[in-house]
Amino acid sequence: MLPPIDTIIENFEIVEDDDMRLEYLIELGRALPPMPESLRTEANRVHGCESQVWIDTAAEGAGPERRLKLQGFSDSFIVRGFVALMVALYTGKTPREAAETDGLDLFRQLRFGSHVTSKRSNGVRAMAERIHRDATRLAAEG
């Protein structure tokens, strides 16, 4: 089970060693709840990632109580860690809150920019954009 996003951020703030930060990212990917094979569809595939990535964004509940539930998977251990960050960041938010949340800001806050390849950075951008579009659509549906 993934820790809350605030705990994840605190943990990254106290780990200065790049190798240890990468290991923690991989641990988060391992803690990501399994995504059912039935959700690993072309509709849930995130394009723009070097690795294969799937993210399913759903809203649970009704009216203003609706909350997002994200599920995700990647075939890469490191990228699965980035998927875990996105799942932890967005799950539990209302669609409107999620649409107003910048996933790339978390990526920058955790100082991954200079230690990650440009292809992986593009993949994180593609994930954040995909979740933003899904959240915006779900917010409009009410």
The residues assigned a catalytic role are: 49
Residue type, 21: R
